[in-house]
Amino acid sequence: MINLRRQLPYKPTERMNVVSYPIRDIVMEAKHEEAKGKKMIYLNIGDPPQYGFKPFNVIAERVKSALDESWKGYAPSEGDEQLRRTVAKIERGSPDDVFIVAGLTEGIDFFFHSFIGFGEKVLLPNPVYPLYLSKAKQFEGDSIFYRHDAEGQIDLVNLERKIEGAKAMVIINPNNPLGAVYTEKNLTEVVKLCADSDVPIFYDGSYDQLIFEGSQVDFRKIARNKVPFIYGSSLSKDFSYPGARIGWVAFHGDRWAEVKNAFFLLCNQRLSVNWEYQKAAAAALVDPSYPAYVADMKMKLMERRNTFVKMARTLQLSFPVPNGAFYAFMKIETPKWKKDLEFVRAALKEGVVFVPGSGFGRQEDGVYFRSTFLPESEIIEEAFEKIRRLL
Amino acid sequence: MINLRRQLPYKPTERMNVVSYPIRDIVMEAKHEEAKGKKMIYLNIGDPPQYGFKPFNVIAERVKSALDESWKGYAPSEGDEQLRRTVAKIERGSPDDVFIVAGLTEGIDFFFHSFIGFGEKVLLPNPVYPLYLSKAKQFEGDSIFYRHDAEGQIDLVNLERKIEGAKAMVIINPNNPLGAVYTEKNLTEVVKLCADSDVPIFYDGSYDQLIFEGSQVDFRKIARNKVPFIYGSSLSKDFSYPGARIGWVAFHGDRWAEVKNAFFLLCNQRLSVNWEYQKAAAAALVDPSYPAYVADMKMKLMERRNTFVKMARTLQLSFPVPNGAFYAFMKIETPKWKKDLEFVRAALKEGVVFVPGSGFGRQEDGVYFRSTFLPESEIIEEAFEKIRRLL
Amino acid sequence: MINLRRQLPYKPTERMNVVSYPIRDIVMEAKHEEAKGKKMIYLNIGDPPQYGFKPFNVIAERVKSALDESWKGYAPSEGDEQLRRTVAKIERGSPDDVFIVAGLTEGIDFFFHSFIGFGEKVLLPNPVYPLYLSKAKQFEGDSIFYRHDAEGQIDLVNLERKIEGAKAMVIINPNNPLGAVYTEKNLTEVVKLCADSDVPIFYDGSYDQLIFEGSQVDFRKIARNKVPFIYGSSLSKDFSYPGARIGWVAFHGDRWAEVKNAFFLLCNQRLSVNWEYQKAAAAALVDPSYPAYVADMKMKLMERRNTFVKMARTLQLSFPVPNGAFYAFMKIETPKWKKDLEFVRAALKEGVVFVPGSGFGRQEDGVYFRSTFLPESEIIEEAFEKIRRLL
Amino acid sequence: MINLRRQLPYKPTERMNVVSYPIRDIVMEAKHEEAKGKKMIYLNIGDPPQYGFKPFNVIAERVKSALDESWKGYAPSEGDEQLRRTVAKIERGSPDDVFIVAGLTEGIDFFFHSFIGFGEKVLLPNPVYPLYLSKAKQFEGDSIFYRHDAEGQIDLVNLERKIEGAKAMVIINPNNPLGAVYTEKNLTEVVKLCADSDVPIFYDGSYDQLIFEGSQVDFRKIARNKVPFIYGSSLSKDFSYPGARIGWVAFHGDRWAEVKNAFFLLCNQRLSVNWEYQKAAAAALVDPSYPAYVADMKMKLMERRNTFVKMARTLQLSFPVPNGAFYAFMKIETPKWKKDLEFVRAALKEGVVFVPGSGFGRQEDGVYFRSTFLPESEIIEEAFEKIRRLL
């Protein structure tokens, strides 16, 4: 008997439908071009070491010394005690409120897994870092999007219309992909709306040390005792060490006991995060040389941003001027381009790699793309020259 | 207006119902006893460094040198190229068939996420490592259990009755928690059944270097060209480095193209595994000193197993004699104990920590618990003295 | 031992979160008012017999005679053979393409159950009959909404931007709640877009005999051989017999074989639809007196619609003039009302029951409510007088 | 451009995997044989009118008179008030505790939808009516099976081992497919176990008037004030009118308020059950001629059962003698048949239609099939002659 079924390739599950990662998908096409000999400028990914930014050196040094100590078994699932205490001090909370995760990526997964139930509304920024979209779908939440104004601040009228009945609101500040930094006034109003509607906040502070102009706002002070929130960050961006795979989340407010227990179970299930790197994170977070390190990084980033903005203004592009992180989210103001993917592919043929705006949520009013300004000024200038004729 | 809802703690999602991790849950109770001053002997967790087993030293050395090189950004999502090539050589496959994961724990998650659809049957051993139970539930598969005979071999009659219509079969060899090592004859028959019913295999080889008596069987040779399979392993057990969080899976057979693409998307979504440790894994897997290292480890384990078996035979316990890994799965043959949890709690009061058998799947025919034999012989003897009066 | 858990009421499942039915929810409040002695005018529900419309009398007559025959066992799950043949003739298809359902409500459930997979996009009109929203959520589809222009026609530019990648498009014509009837030109363009993007259509023709002005368009002719579609209707509206619980769906095109098999399994699972009423439907669908019946019904409805429109124009309301069904979807053009529910509750206090617009999908640009114009003209006039001072 | 995707048939959703209905699937094969001219004896389906049992005539009479009244609109979603009051009197509860459903089939769907959450344990009898299996899968519950002893009573030792942590227990009495009627003693013990473990009961009393020997036990009296339960029944079997599609469920105990609200929402979502038949049910349930009707039906059934048992005993079959309903669940005691489906297909070739035992849950210890004894004695005898040589 011939068994036809055997001839067929296996199919992935239906739930894989919702998993995609547009930022890296476009890279595949770029690598293909590069393999054919074309020189490519990568403005698509937020990976500082690729562009010459050195990770905070305390981390590698402390990993080395930890390797001579005894941190080779499973670490406590919820995180190394010393690191939890260190984070707790920064957060002005208790170590019991802190969980160590394999990059904030894992913390976001745990947040949706444990807190966003089937059919529950989660308020996301639009545009938004793509992982939030795909986690909301994976865990069957109902994504509701709040808008930004032209300066990149949260549009409070729009938020007010949508906040009712939300299970939680996600804030990314500085925002990826906008590069916008929310003002104290804006955040205070947002916190007030959340408090009025009893909506807790997941605050993604991955880039919270990388703010250029104006004094830095501490969200914890704004929100404390007003609304329950979770504050997350990592070594990836503020310390330029994405490969470390170390992040953390801290729960604030007294209503999280059962959700913290759920986080604990999820931590248990994947057993452990690398222990030596946790020791290194504990050292890095309190090292006195960090302020100088981050000041230098910000200075370089500002210079590159300035070049980027100057160049972009020569073309038919509009965008909020980024005041943090290392991204700009650009709207194409010429009618030539009807689909973002078509523009991104055309740019790729010219040797410049961007991410199409649709990867960050549906953009109903126009055609968008995201660019980093991580590379040195000359490369940014070169990139703009290459795409000049497209715009 | 008083808002009563605000007084209430947040509830985790309904789907958290299925997440539990019995091996570590019992530890909490033990730590509580220890905090009160009682000396505890931990026979509950498979963490070799805790019991004096040194990780293979090549790993730490190579991490140190890698820290002076440039592996600090995001590694390729699917894994470092050198490590994938190294694994591919061992697997006699192509690097494209290999994915690097943050411990095989993550590989198991990706396997269920991408391949076991809603309501699809997955054949699991009974007893089984608990993570498989909870992943089958999380991803809504239909767990079907195959039994073992008294020697710990797979019961082929039982398997034959259940295999029809299965989407995949999971084999753990050496088996956790049984400590059983399947013979070449047994595995050959299993592969034949799978081939007849067209059921692919997920092979968990986490302990595949830790086999005591008899020559080691290479499952890949038995299964190749007969049935499609996925082979997984890690640094955690064979190299005594669970804290490294490095594992890998290799796809075998030509029907996996779309499932490999799904793995790729899941890798992309979590961005990267720590890069320096991947470099270290690539070095460790081909280092010429590994055979001596693993021979020494096996000698120690055999000695401890022998003590364990000798002691256990003085009590009313029955179990297949473990020929691999570092666990035994014991049936209590005295009618005194009706529930495994009651026995485990009584043992805990005596100062010995086991895992209740029910954590490894329902045991309809009696009362079971799992013990490791990782500690030194004197400690094993001491543990048995403490629980003697309970049995 | 006191078992606290026993004191607690049982909780419904998390998935109940997504089930609500706003059209009837508001009735509860109205009944409460009525119980206190207030006279209420119900403009909230599309139930013609409540407003004096007589069901097509052939149905009751044929049920009576069928009761003297032998139709008391389970009918064939997929439907009575005679009724399937009758529907097939109307649809110009084969009886194998027809399924009889307990109201089109059940047909919509089966459509989402069998065809809209996890995370798959389904294009819905906005505004939309609420059952579609809740079925999309229950079956974890991704609802995407297409807009209407000021005349109530489908906005083709908006549709074109959203159609890519949709698994299916739902068309309700005449539309509930808009009362709009799509023109042949509009539908032809929609079919063209669907054909270009290979998107099949679920066509809800519940009100397809109730069109007032202009010649009636047969969607089947427009779509046949251009795009696969499913045409559904029922006895509820066209025959004024909602209590009969008889509906049908017909598959068109040659790509539905496996989906039809899925429908068959779902029919099997709920065993049967009432058999005597199926016999009656078979008679009613071909009875020569139906044209006169429906003409009379349309005349009455038109008269009431005219009164309704005349009255509504005296207030600050805007809406497409309904050309079919028996609903209008009204936008409140005075800034007094910020939330539809507040207006509907205020109207209820005045003795008039409407449905808030938000039940038909989010209305970002204003405040809406739905009204039927089923009651006699004097009652419609009375209702408008009662709410005059609110607007 | 050739669009290959267009050539492909549409695929049903992955969740359709779990929908099957073995009782009717086998009919398709039988019809195929019949179409070829073979005479078939159908012992597969519990449809009394097919075998000459007349429905209780009050129902049809009352439907006729109701057709001359005004019950043609949507009935109240939760059920006609008069019918709810009538059922409430029988149940000795309040009308608010009663919901009218389109056959108990729909009541079972609503029960799982509203009460059995993701990953929650539901205790089902083994063997079990197949709809329970497929609803548990559809709603992602974890089915746990309790066994019966050789007389068909619930095995209390087995139940005790499995009851811990169950969300609910399903009891079908008389049991379909066993035909067993649980004794008062057995049910009292079951209720005690449920009360001790705080597990509520869903009681399926579809056949509760059809008990042959011994006085009839009222489960409500046994369970009242001891454990919360839901009692369901219908017109299908006790009144021989499956085509009516009228059933009801009644909640008992004071912890159901939120679950009743969930039932209400599910009723709302499907709008209404046929109203005239609800009026007829209200009349039938209190009609004084019913006792005589059901006594006659039971006498006929007992005679046919006696013939069935006498014939079955001449063959190598074992089964609990049915004391209720109209089914027997038979174990084949000859080693000739290894798979139930093979036997059922062989019987079908001989002209007799059974249902394979595996459709009622996995039968680990042997080969089973279900037969009804609804036909007249001569036909039962003829059927056994036809299959004699197979056993």
Q: Does any CB of chain B come closer than 8 Å to the CB of residue C213?
A: no
Q: For D274, which of C67, C75, C274 is closest by C-beta distance?
A: C274
The alpha carbon of residue C193 is apart from the nearest alpha carbon of chain A, in Å, by 17
User: At a CB cut-off of 8 Å and minimum separation 6, what does C17 contact?
Assistant: A117, A118, A119, A120
Q: Does residue C174 contact residue C210 with C-beta atoms inside 8 Å?
A: yes
Q: Is the pLDDT of residue C114 over 80?
A: yes
DSSP D282-339: HHHHT-TTHHHHHHHHHHHHHHHHHHHHHHHTTSSEE-PPP-BTTEEEEEE-STT---
Summarised one tens digit per residue, pLDDT across range B4-27 is 445 588 888 888 887 776 656 678
Q: For B258, which of A11, A261, A269 is closest by C-beta distance?
A: A11
Q: For C118, which of A15, A119, A364 is closest by C-beta distance?
A: A15
| B118 contacts in chain D (CB < 8 Å) | 14-15, 17-18, 140
Burial B284-295 (b: 16+ CB within 10 A, else e): bbebeebeebbe
The answer to whether B118 contacts D161, with C-beta atoms less than 8 Å apart, is no
Mean pLDDT score of chain D: 92
Name chain B's partners: 3 or more CB pairs within 8 A.
Answer: A, C, D
Q: Does any CB of chain C come closer than 8 Å to the CB of residue B13?
A: yes
- For residue C310 the two structure tokens come to 């005349």
Chain C residue with the nearest C-alpha to that of D77:
C24
The alpha carbon of residue B3 is apart from the nearest alpha carbon of chain A, in Å, by 9
Total residues belonging to chain C? 391
pLDDT band for position C1 (cuts 50, 70, 90):
very low
Q: Which helix (H) or strand (E) holds C202?
A: strand C201-204
**Residue B96, amino acid:** D
Total residues belonging to chain B? 391
C-alpha closest to that of D338 among D313, D363, D312, D370: D363
The alpha carbon of residue D189 is apart from the nearest alpha carbon of chain C, in Å, by 20
- For residue C256 the two structure tokens come to 């539905």
The answer to whether C18 contacts A119, with C-beta atoms less than 8 Å apart, is yes
Mean pLDDT score of chain A: 92
The alpha carbon of residue C24 is apart from the nearest alpha carbon of chain A, in Å, by 20
pLDDT band for position D7 (cuts 50, 70, 90):
low
A356 beta partners: A369
DSSP D154: B
pLDDT at position D15, please? Answer: 83
Alpha-carbon distance C111 to C94, whole Å? 19
Alpha-carbon distance D351 to D41, whole Å? 6
Q: Does residue C227 contact residue C251 with C-beta atoms inside 8 Å?
A: no
- Maximum Cα–Cα distance across chain B: 76
Chain A residue with the nearest C-alpha to that of B65:
A64
| C14 contacts in chain A (CB < 8 Å) | 117-119
Q: How many CB pairs under 8 A join B and D?
A: 31
Q: Is the pLDDT of residue D5 over 80?
A: no
Q: What is the pLDDT averaged over residues C317-327?
A: 95
Q: How many CB pairs under 8 A join A and C?
A: 31
Alpha-carbon distance A181 to B26, whole Å? 46
Instruction: Please state the separation of Cα D178 from the chain's center in Å.
Output: 11
| DSSP H helix total and E strand total for chain C | 13, 13
Q: Does any CB of chain C come closer than 8 Å to the CB of residue D146?
A: no
Q: Does any CB of chain A come closer than 8 Å to the CB of residue B139?
A: yes
The alpha carbon of residue B385 is apart from the nearest alpha carbon of chain A, in Å, by 28
Q: Which one of A1, A4, A7, A10 would you mutate to disrupt binding with B, by most B Cβ within 10 Å of its Cβ? A: A10
Chain B residue with the nearest C-alpha to that of A67:
B60
Alpha-carbon distance D140 to C15, whole Å? 11
pLDDT at position C260, please? Answer: 95
Name chain C's partners: 3 or more CB pairs within 8 A.
Answer: A, B, D
pLDDT at position D333, please? Answer: 92
pLDDT at position A4, please? Answer: 41
Q: Is the pLDDT of residue B132 over 50?
A: yes
The answer to whether B13 contacts C13, with C-beta atoms less than 8 Å apart, is no
Summarised one tens digit per residue, pLDDT across range D26-52 is 787 888 888 888 999 999 988 999 898
Q: Is the pLDDT of residue B313 over 80?
A: yes
C-alpha closest to that of D271 among D103, D79, D122: D79
Chain A residue with the nearest C-alpha to that of D15:
A14
Q: How many CB pairs under 8 A join C and D?
A: 206
pLDDT band for position C10 (cuts 50, 70, 90):
confident
Q: What is the pLDDT averaged over residues B350-373?
A: 90
Q: For C21, which of D49, D70, D269 is closest by C-beta distance?
A: D269
- Can you list the alpha helix ranges (DSSP code H) found in chain A? 22-35, 57-67, 81-91, 104-115, 130-138, 156-162, 184-197, 219-223, 257-269, 275-285, 290-312, 340-350, 377-387
pLDDT at position A111, please? Answer: 97
Q: Does any CB of chain D come closer than 8 Å to the CB of residue A17?
A: no
pLDDT at position C8, please? Answer: 81
Total residues belonging to chain D? 391
Summarised one tens digit per residue, pLDDT across range D57-80 is 999 999 999 999 999 999 999 999
Q: Is the pLDDT of residue A57 over 50?
A: yes
Alpha-carbon distance B69 to A64, whole Å? 13
Q: Does any CB of chain B come closer than 8 Å to the CB of residue A266?
A: yes
Secondary structure of chain B: what % helix, strand, coil (to 5)? Answer: 45, 15, 40
Q: What is the pLDDT averaged over residues C133-145?
A: 92
Q: Would the CA dihedral through B249, B250, B256, B261 be positive or negative?
A: positive
Q: Is the pLDDT of residue C187 over 80?
A: yes
| D20 contacts in chain C (CB < 8 Å) | 265
Instruction: Report helix, strand or coil for B381.
Output: helix
The answer to whether C274 contacts D245, with C-beta atoms less than 8 Å apart, is yes
| D118 contacts in chain A (CB < 8 Å) | 118
Q: What is the pLDDT averaged over residues A37-43?
A: 92
Q: Which residue has the higher pLDDT, A25 or D68?
A: D68
Q: For D118, which of B15, B120, B161 is closest by C-beta distance?
A: B15
Summarised one tens digit per residue, pLDDT across range C11-22 is 888 888 877 766
Q: Does any CB of chain D come closer than 8 Å to the CB of residue B339?
A: no
- For residue C17 the two structure tokens come to 């979160």
pLDDT at position A164, please? Answer: 87
Chain B residue with the nearest C-alpha to that of D366:
B161
90-129 of B, contacting C, C-beta below 8 A? 118
Q: Which residue has the tokens 């199926």?
A: C278
pLDDT at position B335, please? Answer: 86
Mean pLDDT score of chain B: 92
The alpha carbon of residue B18 is apart from the nearest alpha carbon of chain D, in Å, by 6
DSSP D164: T
Summarised one tens digit per residue, pLDDT across range A336-379 is 898 888 899 999 999 999 999 988 987 777 899 999 999 999 99
Q: For C73, which of D50, D68, D74 is closest by C-beta distance?
A: D50
Q: Does any CB of chain B come closer than 8 Å to the CB of residue D18?
A: yes
Q: What is the pLDDT averaged over residues A244-273?
A: 94
Q: Which residue has the tokens 């020259």?
A: A385
pLDDT band for position A174 (cuts 50, 70, 90):
very high
Q: Does any CB of chain D come closer than 8 Å to the CB of residue A12?
A: no
Chain B residue with the nearest C-alpha to that of A50:
B73
The answer to whether B137 contacts D119, with C-beta atoms less than 8 Å apart, is yes
Q: For C270, which of D105, D200, D261 is closest by C-beta distance?
A: D105
Q: For D258, which of C11, C50, C102 is closest by C-beta distance?
A: C11
DSSP D122: E
pLDDT band for position B366 (cuts 50, 70, 90):
confident
Q: What is the pLDDT averaged over residues C221-234?
A: 97
Chain D residue with the nearest C-alpha to that of A14:
D14
Cβ atoms within 10 Å of A324's Cβ, excluding its own:
27
The answer to whether C118 contacts A18, with C-beta atoms less than 8 Å apart, is yes
pLDDT at position C61, please? Answer: 96
Output phi, psi for C146, to 5 deg: -105, 150
DSSP B112-155: HHHH--TT-EEEEESS--HHHHHHHHHTT-EEEEE-B-TTS-B-
Mean pLDDT score of chain C: 92
C-alpha closest to that of D223 among D198, D246, D192: D192
Summarised one tens digit per residue, pLDDT across range B224-248 is 999 999 999 999 999 999 999 999 9
Q: Is the pLDDT of residue D197 over 90?
A: yes
Q: What is the pLDDT averaged over residues B158-182?
A: 94
Chain C residue with the nearest C-alpha to that of D253:
C9
The answer to whether A117 contacts C142, with C-beta atoms less than 8 Å apart, is no
Instruction: Report helix, strand or coil for B268.
Output: helix
| B272 contacts in chain A (CB < 8 Å) | 103, 242-243, 245
pLDDT band for position A5 (cuts 50, 70, 90):
very low
Summarised one tens digit per residue, pLDDT across range D328-352 is 999 999 888 988 888 999 999 999 9
Summarised one tens digit per residue, pLDDT across range B29-44 is 888 888 888 999 999 9
| A140 contacts in chain C (CB < 8 Å) | 118, 140
The alpha carbon of residue D334 is apart from the nearest alpha carbon of chain C, in Å, by 33
Q: Which one of C8, C10, C14 would you mutate to disrupt binding with B, by most B Cβ within 10 Å of its Cβ? A: C14
| B8 contacts in chain A (CB < 8 Å) | 255
Output phi, psi for D71, to 5 deg: -125, 45
Instruction: Report helix, strand or coil for B10.
Output: coil
Q: Which one of D10, D13, D14, D265 would you mutate to disrupt binding with A, by most A Cβ within 10 Å of its Cβ? A: D14
